[in-house]
Amino acid sequence: MTFHNLTLSHPSHRILEAFRQFRAELAEHRRTRAVYNRTFTELSAMSDRDLVDIGLSRGDIGQIAEEAATMS
């Protein structure tokens, strides 16, 4: 019986690993983008008065959404 030792140095394995890495990065981007979108939408739906009550202005929404996405 013959066994073949497959290593990541083979070109097809490097391509496969690069594809897996790309998919993982894409999934992470989609996840963080979903957090950003949800936060942005929820804060945008609030009235100016409600935003002031929590210490925010409408101009802060994008930055807060970005921070929420990177923290998650």
Picking from 24, 27, 56, the residue whose alpha carbon sits closest to that of residue 43 is 56
Predicted TM-score (pTM) of this structure = 0.76
How far apart, in whole angstroms, are the C-alpha atoms of residue 41 and residue 56?
Answer: 15
| Distance separating the N- and C-terminal Cα atoms of the chain | 50
How confident is the model at residue 10, as a pLDDT?
74
For the chain, the domains span: 26-71
How confident is the model at residue 6, as a pLDDT?
54
Picking from 56, 52, 24, the residue whose alpha carbon sits closest to that of residue 68 is 56
In the predicted model, residues of the chain with pLDDT beneath 70 are 1-9
How confident is the model at residue 7, as a pLDDT?
56
CB 58 within 8 A of CB 51: yes
